[in-house]
Amino acid sequence: MMQTAAHGAFGMHLMSDKAVITCALNGVLTDPKQHHVPVTPEQMAREAKAAFDAGASVMHIHLRQQAPNHGHLPSWEVAVSREVQEAIRAACPEIIINHTTGTPGPNYQGALACVRETRPEMAACNAGSLNYLKVKADNSWAWPPMMFDNSVEKVQDYLDVMKQAGTIPEFECFDVGIVRCVGMYRQTGMYAGPLDYNFVMGVASGMPADPDLLPILLKLKLPEAHWQVTAIGRAEIWPLHQRCAELGGHLRTGLEDTFYLADGTKVTSNGQLIEAIAACARRAGREIASPAEARQIFGIGH
């Protein structure tokens, strides 16, 4: 439990043992016609409440277009962001909002505006670029090969807006080199606040969802930083969640990341996934952090 020892120095010994659970409610492109993903503010609030009741303190949200039959498409409208956040807060007032910002290409003004205008407590900060690829069983591309570009200039733009908004960045790391970049952002003064790494594992062209990779990633992150794992895949991701819990990481799951429990059951609600990940924490001998404790752990001011 290296984490615990490190935090003991800051008088946070017991607190850091607690696992903060994040629920990734809906993701960016999952089609609500195929899967039970929430789209409207009402659906988002209902799913957030189910996740909160099961132990989640943080809700990671994506915005969808609200017009009929457009729920599978992303939106960057500040008004939609506001409505979704207000609905979630009405359903579970103590909750921490973690806002998406990920968008490929040069036009990311909408994402910046959402953070600037709504001032969520946390937001994703994609910390480096990745060829976003997947190959189907017939050896053809699952989608046209795509570059998820996150240049240093783009990262700086996000960090600047988050600083203005009082929003804590969660550094999304899709590959080992990206984990190392976060340390450079700190070294060069691009960012000086509390550090939170999110190791995204299971994207076909990024880090695999392999528990054996975790000790290496923990060596590469800055020692004082908090960390969690986003495990993308099916039933095979659950040993990774368990290992994360055992090594002192914070936990995340939700309909953005998976639709399956460890036994292969397909879920219909975020609540089922959060119950399962809370059980991972308890098996590792850890308690679940309340929203108030999560705020203290991450250093959230507002």
pLDDT tens track for 41-70: 999 999 999 999 999 999 999 999 999 989
Q: CA nearest 270: which of 33, 31, 40, 45?
A: 45
Kind of pairing, strands 146-148 and 130-132?
antiparallel
71, 74, 80, 83 alpha-carbon torsion, rounded to 10° = 70
Identify the pLDDT of residue 237: 98
pLDDT tens track for 166-220: 999 999 999 999 999 999 999 999 999 999 999 999 999 999 999 999 999 999 9
Burial (Cβ within 10 Å: 0-12, 13-18, ≥19) of residue 72: middle
pLDDT of 14 above 80:
no
pLDDT band at 249 (very low <50, low <70, confident <90, very high): very high
- DSSP code at position 188: T
**Average pLDDT score over the chain:** 93
pLDDT band at 107 (very low <50, low <70, confident <90, very high): very high
- 3-state secondary structure at position 93: coil
- CB–CB of 238/280 below 8 Å? yes
Identify the pLDDT of residue 189: 97
Identify the pLDDT of residue 13: 39
Q: Is 69 left (phi over 0), alpha (psi -120 to 50) or beta?
A: left
pLDDT band at 296 (very low <50, low <70, confident <90, very high): very high
Identify the pLDDT of residue 10: 37
pLDDT of 239 above 60:
yes
Identify the pLDDT of residue 99: 98
Positive or negative torsion for Cα 117, 127, 286, 37? positive
pLDDT band at 3 (very low <50, low <70, confident <90, very high): very low
| Residue 63 to residues 43, 44, 246, Cα–Cα distance (Å) | 12, 10, 33
With b meaning 16 or more CB within 10 Å and e meaning fewer, what string describes 98-117?
Answer: bbbbbbeeeebebbbebbbe
pLDDT of 256 above 80:
yes
Give the integer Cα–Cα distance in Å for 138 and 25.
Answer: 31
Structure tokens that stand for 30 in this block: 């999952």
Across the range 16-23, mean pLDDT stands at 92
Give the integer Cα–Cα distance in Å for 35 and 257.
Answer: 12
Q: CA nearest 298: which of 198, 204, 219?
A: 198
Identify the pLDDT of residue 9: 37
For 232-238, the CB contacts below 8 A with 24+ separation are 232/200, 232/201, 232/202, 232/203, 232/257, 232/258, 233/202, 233/209, 233/258, 234/258, 234/259, 234/260, 234/264, 235/260, 235/261, 235/262, 235/263, 235/264, 236/209, 237/202, 237/209, 238/262, 238/276, 238/280
